[in-house]
Structure 1
Amino acid sequence: MTAADGAPADPSKAELGERLATWLEGLGLESHLATAGLPTYVRDEQGRARWTDPGTGEPLTRAQLGQLDQLLHGEGSEPEHAVPVSLVLIARHARLRTELLAGPWFSYETLAELRGASVEATRFSVHKAGNERRLLVVPSGDRSIVPAFQIDADGEPRADLAAVLEPLLAAGMDPWRAWAWLTQPAALLGGEVPERAAADPASAGLVALAAARLAERVADRG
């Protein structure tokens, strides 16, 4: 067997590259390699995995593939059965972002339309409320979006969420994680959804307390 340039191919390199690619595909993690800053691969016309160094754009050497193999299998007590935790987390976060973006949110333009205001005035207002930790503003690509759960019928930040958002944002919690915690059942609230529970005066104090405790954890990790 020869390489594309006529030089003898390295069977061990091809075998290892194929094994890694097939393994990652079985886990559904192949599309997250670039996000993790790891080498990536494409399959050629024959379906063979061709691995590339992200720094140089050159094909990976056998030694580099070996290093990648060790890195991906380096977690857990049984390396042969290990799952690359960092890639799993990246994949999980990507799925979560997709789910969140499938729900309602505002751009500056759509929020301005709801308010009956100009886009410029709306952008200024959103930035001000975000800086004052009264509004969760989430970066998404080259734009900023405002999750709709925190906006009232007039297009203004919900007053009942102020005590919940402030500690989370002050602690530097990742905006995507904050969005997820606020809109999904929370263990700290016995399965209640925080943003919904905050609207009930009977449970608003408990939500604020749960947010403060979560913020403490975030701050300790940071």
Structure 2
Amino acid sequence: MPDSHDLDQGAADALGDRLALWLEQLALADQLAAAGLPTFDRDDAGRAHWHDTSGEPLSDERLSELETLLRSVGDDPTHAVPVELVRLRRESALRATLLAGGWVDYAEVGRRRGVSENAARFALHKAAERRAVLLLQHDGGTLVPAFQLDDEGQVREELLTVLEPLLAAKVDPWRVWTWLTSPAALLGGAVPHEAARDPEELPLVQRAAVALAERSRT
């Protein structure tokens, strides 16, 4: 007859497997590390083994706490969805889309402007200090989102007053890039950087940018 420890361990293993399967079915397992949460891997038998952020095995108590945390949104824990992990998954997908050809480097800006790469780098960083261009750091390099540039490699004039409040409020650059290139509710579903090309729509885009900047400050 199994002792109580065996029964307790069996329950813990079942919880770990159930929690792992739930997250896999929601396609959220890959977001655990990004959220600073414990992660799991599966052995050859398919059993989930949970680890804390240091790589150590997760205790049964911590595993139970993790399930409570992940199921804490909504009135019915059975059907709860870990909202933070969903948000991270969405941001990860959007970031991958943005990175897939939506940016240029210093050399390309220099080519468009007819100047050297070093001259382009210097000019862009000076413009960034004036909050007149959006730059992002990624994998040790600097990305220049392409939507903001014209054919000559200059920042589109109509976007200067849109970028300024967002950059002044220190809104996360990835969020700025995403917002400016995605349909915005405050603009009736229009894409901000595209709507800004219309002189009649530009004031609406400016106000929406200010509103986003103010929300980011709170």
Q: Same fold (TM over 0.5)?
A: yes
**Equivalent in 205, 215, 218 of residue 217 of structure 1:** 215
Q: Give the total of aligned pairs.
A: 213
What does residue range 187-198 of structure 1 map to in structure 2 within 5 Å? 187-198=185-196
| Deviation per residue, 1:173-205 (Å, 9 max, x gap) | 111111122112222222222212222223222
Greater alpha carbon shift after TM alignment, 133-142 vs 156-165: 133-142
1:175 maps to a residue whose letter is P
2:150 is the counterpart of 1:152: yes
Q: Which moved more, 1:26-35 or 1:7-16?
A: 7-16
1:39 aligns with 2:38: yes
Q: 2:141 aligned with 1:143, yes or no?
A: yes
SS at match of 2:41: strand
Question: Residue in 1 aligned with 2:52?
Answer: 53
After superposition, the C-alpha distances for 1:63-91 in whole angstroms (9 at most, x for unaligned) are 12111111111222222221111111111
Q: Which residue matches 2:16? A: 17
- Ranges of 4+ aligned residues in structure 1 off by more than 6 Å: none
Return the alpha-carbon distance in structure 2 between the equivalents of residues 58 and 214 of structure 1: 40
Question: Contact between 1:13 and 1:61, CA under 8 Å: does it hold in 2?
Answer: no
Give the distance between the partners of 1:169 and 1:204, measured in 2 at CA: 18
> SS at the partner of 1:42?
strand
- TM-score (ref. length: structure 1): 0.88
Note the C-alpha offset of 1:103. 4.1
TM-score by length of 2: 0.90
Shift of 1:218: 2.1
User: Residue by residue, what CA displacement relative to the aligned partner does 1:75-115 show, whole Å, maximum 9, x if unpaired?
Assistant: 22222221111111111111111122224211223323333
Instruction: Indicate the percent of aligned positions where both proteins have the same amino acid.
Output: 50
Q: Give the alignment of 1:73-152 within 5 angstroms.
A: 73-152=71-150
Distance 1:68 1:188 in 2: 36
Aligned to 1:205: 203
Shift of 1:143: 2.0
Unpaired runs of 5+ in structure 1?
1-6
- Equivalent residue in structure 2 for 1:173, among 171, 174, 178: 171
Moved more, 145-154 or 110-119: 110-119
Q: Once structures 1 and 2 are overlaid, which stretch shifts more, 44-53 or 24-33? A: 44-53
Distance 1:182 1:129 in 2: 18
Q: Which amino acid in the other structure matches residue 41 of structure 2?
A: V
| Separation (CA, whole Å) in 2 of partners of 1:144 and 1:52 | 34
